């Protein structure tokens, strides 16, 4: 995963005063957001330099790069990635030759194809609404399996979660984490809380189902049948080693992970969820991670909760 995509949120920020850049970066980091795109207009280069020197753990990119001069100034200031307001072969090529990630904004499929052909790994795209965006991303992902997308101007927890759950999306871009009026007012706590809200949307934790361990298949069938008889839950063998009773109860045909069974917790991004829980001191159970479409989709935690293992699963979109 690219450094600018780790937190799932890429705040787009403009500074008229470079002195505000470092406290803004500290506010973002306090909210678990470790990347920022600083607009090259106004105090952009000095702001990039201040953050790179003061908080080197922050991944800093230059935004609005529209000329070779802008590009040179961004790289000299220490930008770790560059975003372009439109697809420009000359500037994109310059960045790639310097070994810097370049993220062009693409208006249509022709520009997306051009960016992919040039070697870009990530592009920015704008959509009129989430439904249109997800449909378009699915189509693009089928064409360009190695290309990832950053939807622009994303707002609201539901929209963030829907995009992050898509395998085509690297992260989302937003200008609402640290708007100019909040920066001018020194609203660092507000910025941190905006980050935390956005991060909760990125992770999107919710209960999916409970798995109940039984010693063998006959015992599993007996218990699943009991749920069907008493509560009317329909039974279904969706996988070979368990029987579902409704959507929320999975009866295992063997003593699987956990003393009593497992709790499945759904997330918009299992990989980011796993990293977040490890940061909180929990551990992943070795050998339980499963991958598809280039990302983690399933993993168990080592710890038990009340005799139940915890099973992270990827939300489908």
Number of independent structural domains in the chain: 2
Shared-domain flag, residues 221 and 233: yes
99 and 245 fall within a common domain: no
pLDDT at residue 128, as a whole number: 81
Residues 254 and 240 in one domain: yes
Domain boundary, last residue among 202, 224, 258: 202
For 100, phi then psi, to 5°, come to -105, 135
Separation of alpha carbons 273 and 55, rounded Å: 24
pLDDT of residue 189: 98
Residue 302 in contact with residue 285, Cβ under 8 Å? yes
Where does a domain end: 202, 228, 252? Answer: 202
Nearest in space to 89 (alpha carbons), one of 70, 69, 72, 106: 106
Instruction: Report the alpha-carbon angle 83-89-93, nearest 5.
Output: 75
Q: Are residues 101 and 9 in the same domain?
A: yes
Do 266 and 284 lie in one domain? The reply is yes
Q: Per residue of the chain (317 residues), give pLDDT as tens.
A: 789 999 999 999 999 999 999 999 999 999 999 999 999 988 999 999 999 999 999 999 999 999 988 999 999 999 999 999 988 888 888 888 888 899 999 988 888 998 888 888 999 999 888 888 899 888 988 899 889 999 999 989 999 999 999 999 999 999 999 999 999 999 999 999 999 999 999 999 999 999 999 999 999 999 999 999 999 999 999 999 999 999 999 999 999 999 999 999 999 999 999 999 999 999 999 999 999 988 999 999 999 999 999 999 999 98
Q: What is the pLDDT of residue 145?
A: 84
End residue of a domain, out of 202, 224, 249: 202
What pLDDT sits at residue 151?
Answer: 95
What single string gives the DSSP state of each residue in 107-164?
-SHHHHHHHHHHT-SEEEE--SSHHHHHHHHHHHHHH-TT-EEEESS--SHHHHHHHH
Burial 171-207, CB ≥16 within 10 A → b, else e: bbbbbebbbeebbeeebbebbbebbebbbebbbbeee
* pLDDT for the residue numbered 175: 95
pLDDT value for 127: 87
pLDDT confidence of residue 301: 98
Length of the chain: 317
CA separation for the pair 75, 45 (Å, rounded): 9
Instruction: Report pLDDT for 21.
Output: 97
Same domain? 191 vs 260:
no
Range of the domain at 274: 206-314
> What is the DSSP track for 301-315?
EEEEETTEEEEEEEP
Please give the pLDDT value at position 92: 83
CATH number of the domain within which 118 lies: 3.20.20.70
One domain, residues 248 and 154: no
What pLDDT sits at residue 283? 98
Question: Are residues 196 and 210 both part of a single domain?
Answer: no
pLDDT at 201: 97
Residue whose pair of structure tokens reads 């640290």 in the numeric block: 178
Say how many Å lie between the first and final Cα of the chain, rounded: 20
> What is the predicted pLDDT for the residue at 87?
83
pLDDT value of residue 294: 83
pLDDT of the residue at 119: 83
Tell if the pTM clears 0.75, that is, is over it: yes
**SS3 state at 74:** helix
Q: Distance (Å, rounded) from C-alpha 87 to C-alpha 120?
A: 11
Q: Are residues 241 and 286 in the same domain?
A: yes
Answer yes or no: are the C-beta atoms of 170 and 2 closer than 8 Å. yes
The whole-angstrom separation of Cα 146 and Cα 72 is: 27
Give alpha helix (H) positions in the chain: 21-30, 44-54, 68-77, 89-97, 109-118, 130-143, 157-164, 180-184, 188-203, 217-231, 270-279
Q: What is the CATH number of the domain that holds 216?
A: 3.10.180.10
Residues 109, 82 within the same domain? yes
Rg (Cα) of the chain, in Å, rounded?
Answer: 23
Sign of the torsion angle spanned by Cα atoms 100, 82, 155, 108: negative
Are residues 220 and 190 both part of a single domain?
Answer: no
Residues 233 and 197 grouped into a single domain: no
For CA atoms 91, 96, 102, 105, give the dihedral sign: positive
Q: What is the pLDDT of residue 273?
A: 97
């Amino acid at each position: 995963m690219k450094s600018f995509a780790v937190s799932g949120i890429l705040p787009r920020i403009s500074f008229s005063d470079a002195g505000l850049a470092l406290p803004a970066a500290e506010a973002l980091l306090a909210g678990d957001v470790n990347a920022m795109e600083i607009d090259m207009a106004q105090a952009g280069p000095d702001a990039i330099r201040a953050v790179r020197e003061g908080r080197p753990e922050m991944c800093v990119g230059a935004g609005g790069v529209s000329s070779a001069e802008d590009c040179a100034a961004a790289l000299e200031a220490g930008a770790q990635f560059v975003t372009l307001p439109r697809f420009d072969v000359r500037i994109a090529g310059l960045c790639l030759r310097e070994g810097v990630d370049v993220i062009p904004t693409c208006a249509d499929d022709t520009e997306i194809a051009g960016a992919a052909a040039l070697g870009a790994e990530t592009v920015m795209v704008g959509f009129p609404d989430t439904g249109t965006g997800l449909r378009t991303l699915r189509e693009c992902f089928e064409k360009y399996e190695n290309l990832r997308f950053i939807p622009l101007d994303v707002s609201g927890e539901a929209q963030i979660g829907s995009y992050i759950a898509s395998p085509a999306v690297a992260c989302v871009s937003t200008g609402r984490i640290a708007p100019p009026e909040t920066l001018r007012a020194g609203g660092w706590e507000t910025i941190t809380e905006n980050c935390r809200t956005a991060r909760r949307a990125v992770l999107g934790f919710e209960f999916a189902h409970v798995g109940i361990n039984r010693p063998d298949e006959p015992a599993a069938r007996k218990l699943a049948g009991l749920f069907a008889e008493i509560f009317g839950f329909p039974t279904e063998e969706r996988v070979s080693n368990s029987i579902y009773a409704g959507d929320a109860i999975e009866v295992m045909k063997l003593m699987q992970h956990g003393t009593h069974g497992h709790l499945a917790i759904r997330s918009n991004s299992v990989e980011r969820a796993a990293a977040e829980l490890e940061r909180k001191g929990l551990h992943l159970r070795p050998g339980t991670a499963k991958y598809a479409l280039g990302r983690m989709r399933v993993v168990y935690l080592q710890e038990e909760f009340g005799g139940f293992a915890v099973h992270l699963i990827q939300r489908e979109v």
